[in-house]
Amino acid sequence: MKHTISALLRNRPGVLADLALEFKQSNLNIKSIACGETENPEVSRMVICLEAENDQMDQVTAHLAAMDFIIQVDDLARKEFVDRELLLIKVRFDRESLTQLMQVFEVFRAAVVGMGQETITVEMAGDQEKVEGLIKLLTPFGIKSMCRTGLIALKRGDE
């Protein structure tokens, strides 16, 4: 089952290494990880996406919650949440394909951020299905390079 873990943690050196060790010891592979400061510069939110059985996640989240630098940990797979991912993608183009590419970018609300003689670079933010959809449509044109942020997420509502 897919899980999205959101953890509020104190900013200090070694936090990422400690978290990675916990997932390694639990034999869980992290699909994506994103981390950044919150409204409080002393606190960061880390969003970790992985696949695991519910009992494994219960054990890992309990271990994470016990770590001294963790303020709060939530398994968002069990709650309603909103998520986004940022994609930067560089695609090959020629005179014949440029119009078609621009139409694809418009449908996905992708913004052109760079252009060369043979490639065009766009950015797009959206949920994972939207990101995967754009990648699928651009693959036949020839993807030169690509970078994804990994998922960021927050619980819906007033929590």
Does residue 158 carry a pLDDT above 90?
Answer: no
Q: Which domains does the chain have, with CATH numbers?
A: 2-79 (3.30.70.260), 82-155 (3.30.70.1150)
Return the pLDDT at 137: 97
Q: How is residue 110 annotated by DSSP?
A: P
Burial of 122 (0-12, 13-18, 19+ CB in 10 A): buried
pTM score, whole prediction: 0.83
Average pLDDT over residues 68-77: 91
Return the pLDDT at 20: 85
Return the pLDDT at 70: 95
